[in-house]
Amino acid sequence: MDEAAFAALVERHRRELRVHCYRMTGSLEEAEDLVQETFLRAWRSVDRFEGRSSLRRWLYRIATNACLDALTARSRRPQSQPHPQRQPAAPGRVLPRHRTPPVAPGSPATQVAAPPPTEVAWLEPIPDHLWEPAAPGDEAPDAVVTTRETIELAFLAAIQHLAPRPRAVLILRDVLGWSARETATQLGVTVAAANNHLARARSTLREQLPERHGDWSPAGSSAEERAVLGRYMAAVEQGDLAAVAELLADDVRASMPPLPFWFRGRDDVVGALALSWDPALPHYVGRFRFLPVGANGQLGAAAYTRRPGDDVHRPFGVGVVTIADGRIVEMVSFHDPAVFASFDLPATLPPLSPGE
């Protein structure tokens, strides 16, 4: 088989392998690189492929090992120390709430203009168009169905607390639906070891998922949830704090990676917004405009801001929201230009009206 024919054969598996590597690493950028590494490793060893399993399963084995290698390498790099009340995270991507307790608006902890000097591996979102359709299609008829619950941020954040090998076992068993024997073979461990990894992983997952997660509707977008997001975007664009407050749950959580702090509770979230919306204060962010987006099977919004003296709105953050009982229970806004690029979003937006 020549290289072109091989590339055409494996390309049909790119989407699901990207999702697999994304679950393993919590990073879309790393996932893209690891898929390429998977295809390269596969091409180098294609002569040794004996056909005892399907090509797809062989590629999954290579991809999983590539992810484990990457996570091992990441764990050796220096990381900033978590708060003393928190246990160190596994070598996975995290959100600010995994590292420190919530802070109050205007506290010294919030006076951060840039990420900490030491590297922190933050969890990244994945645009829906990169993992949908959820069902297998003509290009990959044997692909695993990607359920929204296993791509949403709450699940991704929880499994990042697992060590790499138990994380791989959990994904292969509970997400991809493989048997204990298949999983053990793929990872080169005994069935007993694979089962032990799975038991510990499931226990950790139960501890790490948010308390209210079992009460949330499956990730997605009902008409009611879309209406809540629409009212939220309109309220923020109009600078209406009272309207925003009405849409937030009492215990709402808000974070803005790579900023290392986060807020919990309606009063603190609204208080933080009030400080950043005041033109007289140094941390004024400007006037907002939004575009709705889909990320991780959840509703989201790309925020653009127009600062004084500017004639266009520029990228600010891509937010992913979780809604329960008609209220927003969590907002994670990713402040990274690369995120806007992955969502294929415009570089700027015009003002809402000519006289704005």
Average pLDDT over residues 240-252: 97
Instruction: Break the chain into its structural domains and give their ranges.
Output: 3-77+124-213, 223-342
pLDDT of residue 2: 82
DSSP 127: B
Quickly name the fold that domain 223-342 has.
Nuclear Transport Factor 2; Chain: A, (3.10.450)
Give residue 87's pLDDT: 43
Whether the pTM exceeds 0.95: the reply is no
Is the separation of the CB atoms in 71 and 193 below 8 Å? no
Torsion 228-305-318-137 (CA) sign? positive
Identify residue 193 by its one-letter amino acid code: A
In this prediction, residue 110 has a pLDDT band, given cuts at 50, 70 and 90, of confident
The number of beta carbons lying within 10 Å of the beta carbon of residue 27 is 21
Q: What pLDDT digit, counting tens, does each position of 48-74 carry?
A: 776 667 889 999 999 999 999 999 887
Q: If you count them, how many residues does the chain have?
A: 356
Using CA atoms, how far apart are residues 303 and 334, in angstroms rounded to an integer?
10
Give the pLDDT confidence score for residue 215 in this predicted structure: 44
What mean pLDDT comes out for the span 199-210? 88
Q: What's the CA gap between 191 and 206, in Å, rounded?
A: 23
pLDDT tens string 97-107: 888 899 999 88
Secondary structure (3-state) at 91: coil
- How many other C-beta atoms can be found within 10 angstroms of the C-beta atom of residue 344? 10
Structure confidence at residue 139 as a pLDDT band (50, 70, 90):
low
**CATH code of the region 3-77+124-213:** 1.20.140.160
Q: Report the pLDDT value the prediction gives residue 227, as an integer from 0 to 100.
A: 96
Q: What is the pLDDT of residue 85?
A: 41
